[in-house]
């Protein structure tokens, strides 16, 4: 019986189970959805028990699809949505619905953290500014608004780690996901006693911390019965979705950058030391690779901008059909620029009031021009993160590995290569975070000695896209105009939001 590794991904929309063999071949895959609740404007919640139920079902279905029993699984790795808050009592029962990464209720708590800690000290300790998406402000919100829940709290977990608790009975977190709570000492790769003391959060509530490929516990008899896994199967730390996604495409060494072109856009770069962007415009977290860290720039509406455009102005049209005429439009869309801030922005402008805009429209512009300007605007926005990463001390960027739905477009890949003046490559793996979690499990099981070795054994580069030197020059001029638009329009964005 061949050795298999199980990656479990607890995303916002569903829980996925992926079985991978030692060659990196996916032999079984299943996913089950779970609902999301928005009980008030700006709120976003889920019932953690839905994650576990969906995960258990997906594991059983993936095993059945592969035609194997749980004996074939040598180790389990976990990944999933970051920053969510699960509060549990001393018995391990959930006290309230989990508050998710995209919940926006904690603006006042972010100000409270910055005021109590100090902006410079917060950045120096955890590498990030206080933003509504992170976990620490959510903890303070519960204390401020639901004191009865807060009094009963004995344990705090992140989404994937609630599933870990159900699998093993252990309270544990990996460094990559844990550092996203902004309660971590980035340099020491563990909880910051200083931040916890200032914010008056009991350290006893927080789980034990591990590297991404370290074993945190084993599958319990109860979980084995529910999932079909073998009791005693090792479960490793894993990583937050973006760190595991980076492992899944091989972005595990400095100089190899992962660019994810999904609904949101992410630029992810491994760093050999805990570097911090001086103004906190990049997220700085631990990596799932032991002893390494990473920068991350996040764009809220990447391929999501194209989907909005398609659904609004060309409903029912396929993306290939929509983009084909745009290939005949010259670079720069003949003076038309698009700001992709349709849902606010995070990097480089952490501004929920930022708005989308077309600038430079004339009667000469056609639908094809506007289509091209949308994906050019997204490409400029992703370059913003790349520029910050370069300036923050990463050094030479050797290769950009692109994945996500938008990366299937040859036009968009060439455009990104030209805008960033960098070679882009695709890889043979398309399962992303769940695949990365499975590789981390393989390292934990001893099949590979290091995460880098697991990536070399299973991940191969496929299509390469090189920049066109003449188009690079054109885009350089348009990019300079693009970067001037947000500062010019910010007063209008603020004024419009108050009308």
Exposure letters 301-323 (e unless 16+ CB within 10 A, then b):
bbbbbbbbbbeeeeeeeebeebb
Closest C-alpha among 2, 4, 66, 13 to residue 435: 4
Q: Which of 241, 311, 384, 421 is catalytic?
A: 241
Element (H, E) at 162: helix 159-168
Closest C-alpha among 43, 49, 145 to residue 101: 43
Q: What is the CA radius of gyration of the chain?
A: 22
Establish how many alpha carbons lie within 13 A of residue 365's alpha carbon, considering only the half-sphere containing its beta carbon. Answer: 17
The CB-based long-range contact list for 198-204 (8 Å cut-off, 24+ gap) reads 198/116, 198/117, 199/113, 199/116, 199/117, 199/136, 199/139, 199/140, 201/136, 201/139, 204/154
User: Is the peptide bond preceding residue 387 cis, with omega within 30 degrees of 0?
Assistant: no
SS (H, E, C) 207-248: CEEECCCCEEEECCHHHHHHHCECCCCEEECCEEHHHHHHHH
* 43: exposed, middle or buried (Cβ count in 10 Å: 0-12, 13-18, 19+): middle
Question: Catalytic: 241?
Answer: yes
Pair type for strands 293-299 and 26-33: unpaired
Distance CA 391, CA 267 (A): 14
Residues 6+ apart with CB under 8 A from 403: 245, 249, 258, 259, 260, 261, 426, 427, 430, 432
Reported in sequence order, the residue ranges of 181-336 that DSSP labels E, i.e. its strands, are: 184-185, 190-191, 208-210, 215-218, 234-236, 239-240, 256-261, 265-271, 283-286, 293-299
Do residues 350 and 271 lie in contact, with contact meaning Cβ atoms separated by under 8 Å?
no
Closest C-alpha among 61, 241, 105 to residue 161: 241
Helices (H), 339-429: 367-389, 410-420
Do residues 237 and 216 lie in contact, with contact meaning Cβ atoms separated by under 8 Å?
yes
Q: Any idea what the Cα angle at residue 287 is, between residues 284 and 291, rounded to 5°?
A: 110
In this structure, what token pair is assigned to residue 448? 């590979």
Catalytic residues: 241
């Amino acid at each position: 019986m061949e050795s298999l590794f199980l990656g479990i991904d607890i995303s916002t929309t569903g829980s996925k189970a992926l079985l991978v063999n030692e060659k990196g071949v996916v032999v079984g895959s299943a996913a089950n959805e779970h609902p999301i609740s928005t009980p008030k404007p700006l709120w976003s919640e889920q019932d953690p028990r839905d994650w576990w139920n969906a995960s258990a079902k997906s594991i059983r279905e993936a095993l059945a699809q592969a035609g194997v029993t749980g004996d074939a699984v040598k180790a389990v790795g976990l990944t999933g949505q970051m920053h969510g808050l699960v509060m549990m009592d001393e018995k391990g029962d959930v006290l309230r619905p989990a508050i998710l990464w995209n919940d926006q209720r904690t603006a006042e708590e972010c100000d409270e953290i910055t005021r109590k800690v100090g902006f410079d000290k917060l950045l120096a300790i955890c590498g990030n500014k206080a933003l509504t998406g992170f976990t620490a402000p959510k903890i303070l919100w519960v204390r401020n608004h639901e004191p009865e829940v807060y009094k009963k709290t004995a344990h705090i977990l992140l989404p994937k780690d609630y599933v870990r608790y159900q699998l093993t009975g252990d309270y544990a977190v990996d460094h990559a996901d844990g550092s996203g709570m902004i309660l971590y000492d980035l340099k020491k790769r563990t909880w910051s006693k200083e931040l916890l003391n200032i914010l008056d959060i009991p350290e006893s509530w927080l789980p034990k911390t591990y590297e991404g490929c370290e074993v945190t516990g084993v599958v319990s008899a109860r979980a084995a019965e529910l999932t079909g896994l073998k009791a005693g199967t090792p479960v490793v730390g894993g990583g937050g979705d973006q760190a595991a996604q980076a492992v899944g495409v091989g972005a595990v060494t400095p100089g190899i950058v992962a660019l994810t072109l999904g609904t949101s856009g992410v630029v992810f770069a491994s760093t050999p030391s805990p570097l911090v962007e001086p103004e906190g415009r990049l997220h700085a977290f631990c990596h799932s690779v032991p002893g390494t860290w990473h920068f991350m720039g996040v764009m809220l509406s990447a391929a999501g901008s194209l989907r909005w455009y398609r659904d609004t102005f060309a409903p029912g049209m396929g993306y290939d059909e929509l983009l084909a005429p745009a290939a005949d439009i010259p670079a720069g869309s003949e003076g038309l620029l698009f700001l992709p801030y349709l849902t606010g922005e995070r990097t480089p402008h952490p501004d929920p009031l930022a708005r989308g805009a077309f600038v430079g429209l004339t009667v000469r512009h056609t639908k094809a021009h506007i289509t091209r300007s949308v994906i050019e605007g997204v490409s400029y926005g992703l370059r913003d993160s790349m520029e910050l990463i370069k300036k923050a001390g990463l050094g030479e960027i050797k290769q950009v590995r692109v994945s996500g739905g938008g990366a299937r477009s040859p036009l968009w890949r060439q455009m990104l290569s030209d805008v960033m003046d960098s070679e882009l490559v695709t890889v043979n793996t398309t399962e992303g975070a769940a695949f990365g979690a499975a590789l981390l499990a393989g390292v934990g099981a001893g099949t590979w000695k290091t995460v880098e070795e697991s990536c070399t054994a299973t991940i191969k580069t496929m299509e390469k896209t090189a920049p066109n030197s003449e188009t690079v020059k054109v885009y350089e001029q348009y990019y300079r105009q693009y970067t001037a638009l947000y500062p010019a329009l910010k007063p209008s964005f603020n004024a419009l939001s108050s009308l």
